[in-house]
Chains A and B, each alone.
Chain A
Amino acid sequence: MILRGLLMVVVAAVALLADTVLLADLTLAGVAPSLTVMTVVGLAHADGPGTGVRYGFGLGLATDLLGDGLLGSGALVLLAVGYLIGAGRRYWTGGTLAGQVVAGGVGSVAATAGHAVLDLLVDAEGSVGALLQELAVGALFGILLAPLVLPALAWLLERLDPRAGLESPRRW
Protein backbone atom coordinates (compact mmCIF):
# COMPACT_ATOMS: atom_id res chain seq x y z
CA MET A 1 0.00 0.00 0.00
CA ILE A 2 2.82 2.38 0.95
CA LEU A 3 4.68 1.46 -2.22
CA ARG A 4 1.58 2.15 -4.30
CA GLY A 5 1.20 5.51 -2.61
CA LEU A 6 4.84 6.35 -3.28
CA LEU A 7 4.50 5.23 -6.89
CA MET A 8 1.54 7.55 -7.37
CA VAL A 9 3.40 10.49 -5.82
CA VAL A 10 6.38 9.88 -8.12
CA VAL A 11 4.13 9.48 -11.17
CA ALA A 12 2.29 12.69 -10.26
CA ALA A 13 5.55 14.64 -9.79
CA VAL A 14 6.96 13.39 -13.10
CA ALA A 15 3.71 14.24 -14.89
CA LEU A 16 3.63 17.75 -13.41
CA LEU A 17 7.26 18.43 -14.33
CA ALA A 18 6.75 17.06 -17.83
CA ASP A 19 3.62 19.18 -18.36
CA THR A 20 5.11 22.43 -17.06
CA VAL A 21 8.67 22.19 -18.38
CA LEU A 22 8.79 19.82 -21.35
CA LEU A 23 5.38 19.59 -22.99
CA ALA A 24 4.20 23.17 -22.44
CA ASP A 25 5.81 24.41 -25.66
CA LEU A 26 4.74 21.46 -27.82
CA THR A 27 1.44 23.07 -28.65
CA LEU A 28 -0.84 22.33 -31.56
CA ALA A 29 -3.39 25.09 -32.22
CA GLY A 30 -2.58 26.47 -28.79
CA VAL A 31 -3.23 23.19 -26.97
CA ALA A 32 -0.42 21.28 -25.24
CA PRO A 33 -0.47 17.53 -24.50
CA SER A 34 -1.27 16.75 -20.86
CA LEU A 35 0.57 13.92 -19.17
CA THR A 36 -1.24 14.70 -15.90
CA VAL A 37 -4.62 13.84 -17.45
CA MET A 38 -3.13 10.76 -19.08
CA THR A 39 -1.76 9.42 -15.77
CA VAL A 40 -5.21 9.81 -14.20
CA VAL A 41 -6.69 7.94 -17.16
CA GLY A 42 -3.97 5.27 -16.92
CA LEU A 43 -4.34 4.59 -13.20
CA ALA A 44 -8.15 4.66 -13.32
CA HIS A 45 -8.14 2.36 -16.35
CA ALA A 46 -5.79 -0.08 -14.68
CA ASP A 47 -7.05 0.01 -11.11
CA GLY A 48 -10.66 1.15 -11.14
CA PRO A 49 -12.71 4.19 -10.14
CA GLY A 50 -11.55 4.29 -6.50
CA THR A 51 -7.91 4.78 -7.46
CA GLY A 52 -8.94 7.11 -10.29
CA VAL A 53 -10.90 9.37 -7.95
CA ARG A 54 -8.21 9.49 -5.23
CA TYR A 55 -5.31 10.05 -7.61
CA GLY A 56 -7.29 12.49 -9.75
CA PHE A 57 -8.22 14.59 -6.72
CA GLY A 58 -4.64 14.65 -5.38
CA LEU A 59 -3.03 15.47 -8.70
CA GLY A 60 -5.73 18.01 -9.53
CA LEU A 61 -5.14 19.76 -6.22
CA ALA A 62 -1.41 19.87 -7.00
CA THR A 63 -2.06 21.44 -10.41
CA ASP A 64 -4.30 24.02 -8.72
CA LEU A 65 -1.62 24.88 -6.18
CA LEU A 66 0.99 25.33 -8.93
CA GLY A 67 -1.33 27.01 -11.42
CA ASP A 68 -3.23 30.25 -11.49
CA GLY A 69 -6.80 28.98 -11.60
CA LEU A 70 -9.32 28.55 -8.82
CA LEU A 71 -8.10 26.19 -6.12
CA GLY A 72 -10.19 23.01 -6.37
CA SER A 73 -11.21 23.38 -10.02
CA GLY A 74 -8.48 21.10 -11.37
CA ALA A 75 -9.15 18.63 -8.55
CA LEU A 76 -12.86 18.51 -9.43
CA VAL A 77 -12.16 17.93 -13.12
CA LEU A 78 -9.50 15.26 -12.64
CA LEU A 79 -11.41 13.29 -10.00
CA ALA A 80 -14.39 13.25 -12.36
CA VAL A 81 -12.12 12.00 -15.16
CA GLY A 82 -10.74 9.33 -12.82
CA TYR A 83 -14.23 8.13 -11.94
CA LEU A 84 -15.45 8.25 -15.54
CA ILE A 85 -12.57 6.17 -16.87
CA GLY A 86 -12.50 3.78 -13.91
CA ALA A 87 -16.24 3.15 -13.94
CA GLY A 88 -16.50 3.08 -17.71
CA ARG A 89 -13.60 0.74 -18.42
CA ARG A 90 -15.90 -2.29 -18.48
CA TYR A 91 -17.79 -0.77 -21.43
CA TRP A 92 -14.85 -0.81 -23.78
CA THR A 93 -12.43 -3.48 -24.81
CA GLY A 94 -10.32 -3.77 -21.70
CA GLY A 95 -6.58 -3.84 -22.21
CA THR A 96 -6.45 -3.93 -25.99
CA LEU A 97 -4.92 -1.10 -27.95
CA ALA A 98 -8.41 0.01 -28.99
CA GLY A 99 -9.44 0.16 -25.34
CA GLN A 100 -6.42 2.29 -24.42
CA VAL A 101 -7.05 4.64 -27.32
CA VAL A 102 -10.71 5.04 -26.40
CA ALA A 103 -9.82 5.64 -22.76
CA GLY A 104 -7.16 8.22 -23.70
CA GLY A 105 -9.48 10.07 -26.06
CA VAL A 106 -12.46 10.03 -23.70
CA GLY A 107 -10.31 11.11 -20.74
CA SER A 108 -8.74 14.03 -22.62
CA VAL A 109 -12.08 15.23 -23.99
CA ALA A 110 -13.69 14.96 -20.55
CA ALA A 111 -10.86 16.95 -18.95
CA THR A 112 -10.99 19.68 -21.59
CA ALA A 113 -14.78 19.89 -21.42
CA GLY A 114 -14.67 19.99 -17.61
CA HIS A 115 -12.21 22.88 -17.59
CA ALA A 116 -14.28 24.70 -20.22
CA VAL A 117 -17.47 24.39 -18.15
CA LEU A 118 -15.69 25.67 -15.02
CA ASP A 119 -14.16 28.54 -17.02
CA LEU A 120 -17.65 29.54 -18.17
CA LEU A 121 -18.86 29.49 -14.57
CA VAL A 122 -16.12 31.90 -13.47
CA ASP A 123 -16.93 34.22 -16.36
CA ALA A 124 -14.03 33.60 -18.72
CA GLU A 125 -14.79 34.34 -22.34
CA GLY A 126 -14.71 31.65 -25.00
CA SER A 127 -16.22 30.63 -28.28
CA VAL A 128 -17.80 27.37 -29.38
CA GLY A 129 -15.39 27.11 -32.32
CA ALA A 130 -12.34 27.47 -30.09
CA LEU A 131 -13.74 24.93 -27.63
CA LEU A 132 -14.42 22.38 -30.38
CA GLN A 133 -10.90 22.86 -31.70
CA GLU A 134 -9.51 22.41 -28.20
CA LEU A 135 -11.56 19.24 -27.71
CA ALA A 136 -10.38 17.81 -31.04
CA VAL A 137 -6.70 18.53 -30.40
CA GLY A 138 -6.99 17.28 -26.80
CA ALA A 139 -8.56 14.05 -28.04
CA LEU A 140 -5.78 13.64 -30.60
CA PHE A 141 -3.09 14.07 -27.93
CA GLY A 142 -4.96 11.63 -25.66
CA ILE A 143 -5.18 9.04 -28.41
CA LEU A 144 -1.46 9.37 -29.18
CA LEU A 145 -0.28 9.32 -25.56
CA ALA A 146 -2.59 6.56 -24.25
CA PRO A 147 -0.80 3.59 -25.91
CA LEU A 148 2.47 4.78 -24.35
CA VAL A 149 1.35 5.82 -20.88
CA LEU A 150 -1.40 3.30 -20.04
CA PRO A 151 0.63 0.08 -20.51
CA ALA A 152 3.57 1.59 -18.59
CA LEU A 153 1.39 2.49 -15.60
CA ALA A 154 -0.37 -0.89 -15.65
CA TRP A 155 2.99 -2.64 -15.76
CA LEU A 156 4.25 -0.62 -12.78
CA LEU A 157 1.10 -1.38 -10.74
CA GLU A 158 1.33 -5.04 -11.53
CA ARG A 159 4.97 -5.22 -10.45
CA LEU A 160 4.01 -3.75 -7.09
CA ASP A 161 0.91 -5.86 -6.49
CA PRO A 162 0.60 -8.86 -8.83
CA ARG A 163 -2.54 -10.25 -7.12
CA ALA A 164 -4.65 -7.13 -7.36
CA GLY A 165 -6.90 -6.33 -10.27
CA LEU A 166 -7.14 -9.85 -11.75
CA GLU A 167 -10.36 -8.83 -13.45
CA SER A 168 -9.14 -5.42 -14.33
CA PRO A 169 -8.22 -4.56 -17.90
CA ARG A 170 -4.57 -4.05 -17.05
CA ARG A 171 -3.63 -7.55 -18.30
CA TRP A 172 -2.77 -6.98 -21.90
Chain B
Amino acid sequence: MADRRRPRLLLAALALVSLVLMTLDFREGDDGPLTAVQDRAVALFAPVQELVGSAVAPLERAVETVGELGDLRERNTALEAELEELRQRSVSLADLERENERLRELLDMRDRYDFETVAARVIARPPGASRWSVLVDVGTEDGIAAGMAVIDGEGLVGTVTRATDGHARVQLAHAPEARYAVRLGEEGHDALLSGGGHRAMEVQIIEDTQAELEEGDRVLTRAFQGTSIPDGLPVGSLAEGGSTDRTPQLPVDPAVDFASLDLVQVVVDVPEAPTPEELDEEAEDDGDAAGTGDEDDDEDPEDAEDLDDVATTGHGLAGVRTDRPSPTGALPAP
Protein backbone atom coordinates (compact mmCIF):
# COMPACT_ATOMS: atom_id res chain seq x y z
CA MET B 1 0.00 0.00 0.00
CA ALA B 2 2.86 2.32 0.94
CA ASP B 3 4.52 1.61 -2.44
CA ARG B 4 1.32 2.62 -4.22
CA ARG B 5 0.94 5.81 -2.25
CA ARG B 6 4.49 7.03 -2.77
CA PRO B 7 4.09 7.93 -6.45
CA ARG B 8 0.82 9.70 -5.64
CA LEU B 9 2.46 11.75 -2.90
CA LEU B 10 5.34 12.52 -5.26
CA LEU B 11 2.85 13.49 -7.97
CA ALA B 12 1.00 15.82 -5.60
CA ALA B 13 4.20 17.41 -4.28
CA LEU B 14 5.75 18.03 -7.70
CA ALA B 15 2.44 19.24 -9.14
CA LEU B 16 2.30 21.76 -6.30
CA VAL B 17 5.86 22.89 -7.08
CA SER B 18 4.89 23.29 -10.75
CA LEU B 19 1.83 25.36 -9.89
CA VAL B 20 3.87 27.59 -7.58
CA LEU B 21 6.45 28.12 -10.34
CA MET B 22 3.70 28.94 -12.85
CA THR B 23 2.14 31.45 -10.49
CA LEU B 24 5.46 33.13 -9.75
CA ASP B 25 6.41 33.27 -13.44
CA PHE B 26 2.97 34.62 -14.41
CA ARG B 27 3.16 37.35 -11.77
CA GLU B 28 6.72 38.50 -12.39
CA GLY B 29 6.27 39.01 -16.15
CA ASP B 30 9.36 39.43 -18.31
CA ASP B 31 11.75 41.05 -15.88
CA GLY B 32 11.99 38.77 -12.87
CA PRO B 33 14.58 36.34 -11.53
CA LEU B 34 12.83 33.33 -13.14
CA THR B 35 13.11 34.96 -16.55
CA ALA B 36 16.80 35.56 -15.85
CA VAL B 37 17.19 31.84 -15.06
CA GLN B 38 15.41 30.99 -18.32
CA ASP B 39 17.72 33.33 -20.23
CA ARG B 40 20.76 31.73 -18.64
CA ALA B 41 19.51 28.24 -19.50
CA VAL B 42 18.97 29.28 -23.11
CA ALA B 43 22.45 30.84 -23.21
CA LEU B 44 23.94 27.58 -21.90
CA PHE B 45 22.02 25.22 -24.16
CA ALA B 46 21.98 27.27 -27.36
CA PRO B 47 25.65 26.63 -28.26
CA VAL B 48 25.01 22.88 -27.96
CA GLN B 49 21.96 23.23 -30.20
CA GLU B 50 24.03 25.25 -32.65
CA LEU B 51 26.79 22.63 -32.65
CA VAL B 52 24.36 19.74 -33.15
CA GLY B 53 22.48 21.71 -35.80
CA SER B 54 25.61 22.34 -37.84
CA ALA B 55 26.81 18.74 -37.32
CA VAL B 56 23.61 17.19 -38.60
CA ALA B 57 23.03 19.73 -41.38
CA PRO B 58 24.85 17.62 -44.05
CA LEU B 59 22.81 14.60 -42.98
CA GLU B 60 19.59 16.59 -43.21
CA ARG B 61 20.55 17.83 -46.65
CA ALA B 62 21.38 14.27 -47.75
CA VAL B 63 18.01 13.01 -46.52
CA GLU B 64 16.26 15.91 -48.22
CA THR B 65 18.13 15.20 -51.46
CA VAL B 66 17.13 11.53 -51.45
CA GLY B 67 13.55 12.54 -50.76
CA GLU B 68 13.61 14.98 -53.65
CA LEU B 69 15.16 12.66 -56.26
CA GLY B 70 11.77 12.07 -57.84
CA ASP B 71 11.30 15.78 -58.41
CA LEU B 72 14.80 16.51 -59.69
CA ARG B 73 14.07 15.86 -63.37
CA GLU B 74 11.00 18.07 -63.26
CA ARG B 75 12.89 20.82 -61.43
CA ASN B 76 15.76 20.56 -63.90
CA THR B 77 13.38 21.24 -66.77
CA ALA B 78 11.82 24.14 -64.90
CA LEU B 79 15.24 25.58 -64.06
CA GLU B 80 16.37 25.39 -67.67
CA ALA B 81 13.28 27.31 -68.71
CA GLU B 82 13.91 29.86 -65.96
CA LEU B 83 17.55 30.20 -67.06
CA GLU B 84 16.45 30.99 -70.57
CA GLU B 85 13.99 33.56 -69.27
CA LEU B 86 16.70 35.14 -67.11
CA ARG B 87 19.05 35.35 -70.08
CA GLN B 88 16.42 37.31 -71.93
CA ARG B 89 15.77 39.49 -68.92
CA SER B 90 19.45 40.31 -68.36
CA VAL B 91 19.46 42.24 -71.63
CA SER B 92 17.05 44.74 -70.18
CA LEU B 93 18.48 44.64 -66.66
CA ALA B 94 20.41 47.91 -67.06
CA ASP B 95 17.24 49.67 -68.19
CA LEU B 96 15.34 48.20 -65.29
CA GLU B 97 17.98 49.38 -62.83
CA ARG B 98 17.79 52.94 -64.18
CA GLU B 99 14.03 52.73 -63.99
CA ASN B 100 14.30 51.37 -60.48
CA GLU B 101 16.43 54.33 -59.42
CA ARG B 102 14.08 56.81 -61.07
CA LEU B 103 11.06 55.28 -59.33
CA ARG B 104 12.78 55.40 -55.98
CA GLU B 105 13.49 59.08 -56.45
CA LEU B 106 9.97 59.74 -57.64
CA LEU B 107 8.37 58.01 -54.73
CA ASP B 108 10.87 59.40 -52.23
CA MET B 109 10.61 56.25 -50.16
CA ARG B 110 14.26 55.42 -49.76
CA ASP B 111 14.71 57.33 -46.52
CA ARG B 112 11.59 55.92 -45.00
CA TYR B 113 12.72 52.32 -45.50
CA ASP B 114 16.44 52.74 -45.14
CA PHE B 115 16.89 50.69 -42.01
CA GLU B 116 19.86 48.71 -40.75
CA THR B 117 19.61 44.98 -40.30
CA VAL B 118 21.69 42.25 -38.69
CA ALA B 119 21.72 38.87 -40.41
CA ALA B 120 20.84 35.89 -38.23
CA ARG B 121 20.45 32.17 -38.60
CA VAL B 122 17.58 30.24 -37.05
CA ILE B 123 19.20 27.60 -34.85
CA ALA B 124 16.33 25.98 -32.96
CA ARG B 125 12.68 26.00 -32.10
CA PRO B 126 11.51 25.74 -28.50
CA PRO B 127 10.83 22.31 -27.01
CA GLY B 128 7.35 21.30 -25.92
CA ALA B 129 4.03 22.27 -27.36
CA SER B 130 4.79 25.88 -28.26
CA ARG B 131 5.96 26.12 -31.86
CA TRP B 132 5.39 29.81 -32.35
CA SER B 133 8.91 31.08 -31.77
CA VAL B 134 12.45 30.42 -32.95
CA LEU B 135 15.90 30.96 -31.49
CA VAL B 136 18.38 32.94 -33.62
CA ASP B 137 22.16 33.17 -33.29
CA VAL B 138 22.45 36.92 -32.61
CA GLY B 139 21.89 38.69 -29.31
CA THR B 140 22.49 41.84 -27.33
CA GLU B 141 26.19 41.77 -28.30
CA ASP B 142 25.04 42.31 -31.90
CA GLY B 143 22.74 45.15 -30.94
CA ILE B 144 19.59 43.06 -30.70
CA ALA B 145 16.88 44.07 -28.23
CA ALA B 146 13.33 43.02 -27.43
CA GLY B 147 10.71 44.53 -29.71
CA MET B 148 12.82 44.60 -32.87
CA ALA B 149 11.25 43.35 -36.08
CA VAL B 150 12.60 40.26 -37.83
CA ILE B 151 12.25 39.88 -41.59
CA ASP B 152 13.28 37.64 -44.42
CA GLY B 153 13.16 38.00 -48.18
CA GLU B 154 9.39 37.58 -48.21
CA GLY B 155 8.36 39.93 -45.43
CA LEU B 156 7.72 40.12 -41.69
CA VAL B 157 8.83 37.03 -39.77
CA GLY B 158 8.10 38.24 -36.24
CA THR B 159 9.38 40.23 -33.29
CA VAL B 160 12.25 39.70 -30.86
CA THR B 161 10.76 38.92 -27.45
CA ARG B 162 13.91 38.16 -25.45
CA ALA B 163 17.62 38.56 -26.11
CA THR B 164 20.65 37.18 -24.30
CA ASP B 165 24.28 38.00 -25.10
CA GLY B 166 24.53 35.76 -28.14
CA HIS B 167 21.00 34.61 -28.88
CA ALA B 168 17.51 35.97 -29.23
CA ARG B 169 14.01 34.52 -29.09
CA VAL B 170 11.73 35.59 -31.93
CA GLN B 171 7.96 35.35 -31.60
CA LEU B 172 6.68 34.44 -35.06
CA ALA B 173 4.07 36.67 -36.65
CA HIS B 174 1.57 33.80 -36.78
CA ALA B 175 1.83 33.07 -33.03
CA PRO B 176 -1.56 33.08 -31.29
CA GLU B 177 -0.52 36.05 -29.12
CA ALA B 178 0.99 38.10 -31.98
CA ARG B 179 -0.73 41.41 -32.82
CA TYR B 180 0.40 43.94 -35.43
CA ALA B 181 -1.00 47.18 -36.76
CA VAL B 182 -1.38 46.78 -40.52
CA ARG B 183 -2.91 48.48 -43.52
CA LEU B 184 -4.84 46.72 -46.24
CA GLY B 185 -5.18 46.96 -49.97
CA GLU B 186 -4.63 49.90 -52.25
CA GLU B 187 -6.50 52.25 -49.94
CA GLY B 188 -4.42 51.34 -46.89
CA HIS B 189 -7.31 50.64 -44.51
CA ASP B 190 -6.25 50.46 -40.88
CA ALA B 191 -6.52 46.99 -39.37
CA LEU B 192 -5.23 44.81 -36.57
CA LEU B 193 -3.54 41.54 -37.50
CA SER B 194 -3.86 38.55 -35.15
CA GLY B 195 -1.46 35.61 -35.46
CA GLY B 196 -4.07 32.86 -35.11
CA GLY B 197 -1.74 29.96 -34.24
CA HIS B 198 -2.98 26.80 -35.91
CA ARG B 199 -5.77 28.84 -37.51
CA ALA B 200 -5.20 31.27 -40.34
CA MET B 201 -3.87 34.75 -39.57
CA GLU B 202 -6.73 37.26 -39.42
CA VAL B 203 -7.10 40.98 -39.90
CA GLN B 204 -9.73 42.96 -38.08
CA ILE B 205 -10.73 46.22 -39.75
CA ILE B 206 -10.65 49.07 -37.24
CA GLU B 207 -11.87 51.85 -39.51
CA ASP B 208 -15.45 53.06 -39.55
CA THR B 209 -15.48 53.61 -43.30
CA GLN B 210 -17.12 51.09 -45.57
CA ALA B 211 -14.84 49.59 -48.21
CA GLU B 212 -14.60 46.56 -50.49
CA LEU B 213 -11.49 44.45 -50.11
CA GLU B 214 -10.49 41.81 -52.61
CA GLU B 215 -8.81 38.46 -52.32
CA GLY B 216 -5.07 38.95 -52.82
CA ASP B 217 -5.00 42.50 -51.46
CA ARG B 218 -1.69 43.11 -49.76
CA VAL B 219 -1.36 43.32 -45.97
CA LEU B 220 1.49 45.64 -44.94
CA THR B 221 2.77 46.69 -41.53
CA ARG B 222 1.87 50.14 -40.27
CA ALA B 223 4.45 51.95 -38.17
CA PHE B 224 3.48 53.71 -35.00
CA GLN B 225 5.57 55.94 -32.84
CA GLY B 226 7.13 54.02 -30.00
CA THR B 227 7.31 50.71 -31.87
CA SER B 228 10.23 49.17 -33.74
CA ILE B 229 8.20 47.69 -36.59
CA PRO B 230 9.11 49.39 -39.89
CA ASP B 231 6.34 50.69 -42.07
CA GLY B 232 5.26 48.88 -45.21
CA LEU B 233 6.71 45.41 -44.59
CA PRO B 234 4.72 42.74 -46.42
CA VAL B 235 2.87 40.49 -43.99
CA GLY B 236 0.73 38.56 -46.45
CA SER B 237 -2.30 38.88 -48.63
CA LEU B 238 -6.01 38.54 -48.01
CA ALA B 239 -7.18 34.96 -48.51
CA GLU B 240 -10.75 36.19 -48.96
CA GLY B 241 -12.27 39.45 -50.02
CA GLY B 242 -15.23 41.16 -48.48
CA SER B 243 -16.89 44.33 -47.38
CA THR B 244 -15.48 45.92 -44.23
CA ASP B 245 -18.92 46.51 -42.75
CA ARG B 246 -20.21 42.96 -43.32
CA THR B 247 -17.04 40.95 -42.70
CA PRO B 248 -14.87 42.87 -40.24
CA GLN B 249 -12.49 39.89 -39.92
CA LEU B 250 -10.72 38.43 -42.94
CA PRO B 251 -8.20 35.55 -43.19
CA VAL B 252 -4.68 36.27 -44.38
CA ASP B 253 -2.21 34.08 -46.29
CA PRO B 254 1.21 34.84 -44.76
CA ALA B 255 3.98 36.08 -47.04
CA VAL B 256 6.57 34.12 -45.08
CA ASP B 257 6.88 30.34 -44.99
CA PHE B 258 7.23 29.90 -41.23
CA ALA B 259 7.96 26.18 -41.55
CA SER B 260 11.22 26.65 -43.43
CA LEU B 261 12.92 29.63 -41.81
CA ASP B 262 16.69 29.61 -42.06
CA LEU B 263 18.32 32.99 -42.64
CA VAL B 264 16.56 36.07 -41.33
CA GLN B 265 17.41 39.70 -40.65
CA VAL B 266 16.77 41.63 -37.46
CA VAL B 267 15.91 45.29 -38.06
CA VAL B 268 18.10 47.15 -35.57
CA ASP B 269 17.61 50.74 -36.69
CA VAL B 270 14.19 51.89 -37.80
CA PRO B 271 13.50 55.46 -38.83
CA GLU B 272 10.95 57.08 -36.57
CA ALA B 273 7.39 56.55 -37.64
CA PRO B 274 5.78 59.64 -39.16
CA THR B 275 3.60 61.70 -36.86
CA PRO B 276 -0.10 62.08 -37.70
CA GLU B 277 0.62 65.65 -38.89
CA GLU B 278 3.30 64.40 -41.29
CA LEU B 279 0.90 61.77 -42.57
CA ASP B 280 -1.67 64.48 -43.25
CA GLU B 281 0.87 66.52 -45.19
CA GLU B 282 1.94 63.46 -47.18
CA ALA B 283 -1.64 62.66 -48.06
CA GLU B 284 -2.15 66.22 -49.29
CA ASP B 285 1.08 66.07 -51.30
CA ASP B 286 0.01 62.77 -52.84
CA GLY B 287 -3.32 64.31 -53.77
CA ASP B 288 -1.51 67.15 -55.54
CA ALA B 289 0.85 64.76 -57.29
CA ALA B 290 -2.06 62.63 -58.48
CA GLY B 291 -3.57 65.70 -60.04
CA THR B 292 -0.46 66.65 -62.01
CA GLY B 293 1.36 63.39 -62.68
CA ASP B 294 -1.07 61.17 -64.53
CA GLU B 295 1.57 59.65 -66.71
CA ASP B 296 3.67 58.52 -63.77
CA ASP B 297 0.65 57.18 -61.98
CA ASP B 298 -0.17 54.97 -64.91
CA GLU B 299 3.27 53.47 -64.85
CA ASP B 300 3.64 52.90 -61.14
CA PRO B 301 1.88 49.58 -60.53
CA GLU B 302 3.71 47.69 -63.25
CA ASP B 303 6.98 49.32 -62.39
CA ALA B 304 6.54 48.38 -58.76
CA GLU B 305 6.15 44.76 -59.87
CA ASP B 306 9.33 45.10 -61.88
CA LEU B 307 11.03 46.31 -58.73
CA ASP B 308 9.96 43.09 -57.03
CA ASP B 309 11.39 41.01 -59.84
CA VAL B 310 14.72 42.77 -59.83
CA ALA B 311 15.03 42.49 -56.08
CA THR B 312 14.23 38.80 -56.18
CA THR B 313 16.15 37.59 -59.18
CA GLY B 314 18.96 40.07 -59.03
CA HIS B 315 19.90 39.58 -55.38
CA GLY B 316 17.74 36.92 -53.83
CA LEU B 317 18.92 38.04 -50.38
CA ALA B 318 16.79 38.32 -47.27
CA GLY B 319 16.04 41.91 -46.53
CA VAL B 320 16.76 43.32 -49.94
CA ARG B 321 13.17 43.39 -51.01
CA THR B 322 11.93 44.74 -47.73
CA ASP B 323 13.22 48.25 -48.23
CA ARG B 324 11.03 48.75 -51.22
CA PRO B 325 8.06 51.02 -51.27
CA SER B 326 4.56 49.75 -50.82
CA PRO B 327 2.45 49.35 -53.96
CA THR B 328 0.35 52.29 -52.90
CA GLY B 329 3.44 54.45 -52.86
CA ALA B 330 2.65 56.36 -49.69
CA LEU B 331 0.86 56.09 -46.43
CA PRO B 332 -2.78 57.04 -46.57
CA ALA B 333 -4.19 59.68 -44.33
CA PRO B 334 -5.08 58.28 -40.90
**Within residues 4 to 47 of chain B, which ones have a CB less than 8 A from any CB in chain A?**
6-8, 10-11, 14-15, 17-22, 24-26, 34, 37-38, 41-42, 45
Stretch in contact with the other chain, from A20-28, A94-102, A143-151:
A20-28
In the complex the two chains form, is B52's CB within 8 Å of A17's CB? yes
Main secondary structure of the interface of B (DSSP, over half): helix
In the bound complex, what is the Cα–Cα distance between A127 and B196 (angstroms)? Answer: 10
In the complex the two chains form, is B15's CB within 8 Å of A80's CB? yes
Chain A residues contacting B169 (CB-CB under 8 Å) are: 68
Q: Which of B7, B34, B41, B131 gathers the greatest number of chain A CB atoms within 10 Å?
A: B7
In the complex the two chains form, is B7's CB within 8 Å of A83's CB? yes
Chain B residues contacting A52 (CB-CB under 8 Å) are: 7
A27-B198 contact given A16-B127, A68-B126, CB 8 Å threshold: no
In the complex the two chains form, is B131's CB within 8 Å of A24's CB? yes
Minimum CB–CB distance from B41 to chain A (whole Å) comes to: 4
Q: Return the CB mask of A47-89 against B: 1 if under 8 Å, else 0.
A: 0111011100100111111111111111111011001001100
Q: Does B49 contact A (CB under 8 A)?
A: yes
Q: Does A30 contact B (CB under 8 A)?
A: yes
Q: Does B94 contact A (CB under 8 A)?
A: no
Q: How large is the interface on B (under 10, 10 to 19, 20 to 34, 35 or more residues)?
A: 35 or more
In the complex the two chains form, is A71's CB within 8 Å of B259's CB? no
In the bound complex, what is the Cα–Cα distance between A75 and B129 (angstroms)? Answer: 12
**Within residues 76 to 125 of chain B, which ones have a CB less than 8 A from any CB in chain A?**
123-125
Q: Does B309 contact A (CB under 8 A)?
A: no
In the complex the two chains form, is A126's CB within 8 Å of B21's CB? no
In the bound complex, what is the Cα–Cα distance between A34 and B128 (angstroms)? Answer: 7
In the complex the two chains form, is A115's CB within 8 Å of B131's CB? no
Q: Does B171 contact A (CB under 8 A)?
A: yes
In the complex the two chains form, is B34's CB within 8 Å of A67's CB? no
Chain A residues contacting B17 (CB-CB under 8 Å) are: 57, 72, 75
Q: Does B177 contact A (CB under 8 A)?
A: yes
Minimum CB–CB distance from B146 to chain A (whole Å) comes to: 12
In the complex the two chains form, is B126's CB within 8 Å of A67's CB? yes
Chain A residues contacting B26 (CB-CB under 8 Å) are: 70, 122
Minimum CB–CB distance from B180 to chain A (whole Å) comes to: 15
In the bound complex, what is the Cα–Cα distance between A61 and B206 (angstroms)? Answer: 41
Chain A residues contacting B177 (CB-CB under 8 Å) are: 124
Chain A residues contacting B18 (CB-CB under 8 Å) are: 57, 60, 72-73, 75-76, 79
Q: Return the CB mask of B157-184 against A: 1 if under 8 Å, else 0.
A: 0000110000001010000110000000
In the complex the two chains form, is B199's CB within 8 Å of A130's CB? yes
Across the A-B interface, give the 10 residue pairs with the lowest CB-CB distance, nearest first: A72-B21, A115-B129, A130-B198, A65-B41, A76-B18, A67-B126, A24-B125, A49-B7, A72-B22, A71-B25
* 8 A-B contacts (beta carbon < 8 Å): A16-B45, A21-B56, A22-B60, A25-B259, A50-B10, A112-B129, A116-B129, A126-B197
The interface of chain A, by Cβ under 8 A from chain B, is 16-17, 19-22, 24-25, 27, 29-32, 34, 36, 48-50, 52-54, 57, 60-77, 79-80, 83, 86-87, 111-112, 115-116, 119, 122, 124-127, 130, 133-134
